[in-house]
Amino acid sequence: MTEKNPISSETEEYGPVRTFLAELAGKLHLNVSFELEVDERFLRINVTGPDADDLLVGKGAAVRSDVIEALQLLTSRSIGAGESNQIVVIDANRYRESRLELLERTANRIGDFVQSNQQRMTVYGMNSFDRRAIHLQLAQRGGIVTDSEGYGTLRCLVVKGETPS
């Protein structure tokens, strides 16, 4: 069995988070530690250590964060984050930062295509983090409108040229 590593945070208020994540990591036999960054709106947890990359599925550009998303949901629900209006965000070895850079480049390519071809584009298979990153990147451009349509796993991102008024 793997040794449970403590979660680094000076605040005793986050003791239940430390306990929950340490127990979960132990049950999953993961040799990881957790770094907490806390502000009024977010509780950011970065998972580090030899087994942190095991929370990512796939390799290269096809890597997905499904396990991180599930861990994030479980953590949020277990500590009642909805009651405090604090959003729990979990990352592994700063994966989200590199993913965000890739998504910004992808958003720019989609925006270029939509503007040059005057065609609507629908993008499927994105989680909420990916869709939001593309929405935010394209919101900085003029002449582009984005929207999300559908529900659950069928939710998709729609990008189209802005119609002149």
Q: Residue 160: what pLDDT? A: 94
Confidence band of 139 (pLDDT split at 50, 70, 90): very high
Q: Where are the domains of the chain?
A: 7-93, 99-161
Would you state the structure tokens that stand for residue 47, as one six-digit string? Answer: 């998972």
Q: Which residue has the tokens 């979990």?
A: 90
Q: Residue 59: what pLDDT? A: 67
The whole-angstrom separation of Cα 69 and Cα 113 is 30
C-beta neighbour count of 158 within 10 angstroms? 14
Third-level CATH fold of 99-161? Ribosomal Protein S8; Chain: A, domain 1 (3.30.1370)
Average pLDDT over residues 117-141: 91
pLDDT at 58 over 80: no
- Mean pLDDT, all residues of the chain: 83
pLDDT at 146 over 90: yes
Q: Residue 60: what pLDDT? A: 61
Average pLDDT over residues 20-43: 89
Q: What is the pLDDT of residues 78-118, one digit of tens each?
A: 877 555 677 888 999 888 888 889 999 999 999 999 999 99
Question: Does residue 65 contact residue 98 with C-beta atoms inside 8 Å?
Answer: no
Average pLDDT over residues 65-75: 86
The whole-angstrom separation of Cα 17 and Cα 13 is 9
Please determine, looking at this structure, whether the domain spanning 7-93 carries the CATH number 3.30.300.20. Answer: yes
H helices of the chain, in order, are 15-27, 66-79, 81-84, 95-117, 128-139
Average pLDDT over residues 36-53: 88
Residue 123 bridge partners (DSSP): 157
The whole-angstrom separation of Cα 85 and Cα 124 is 29
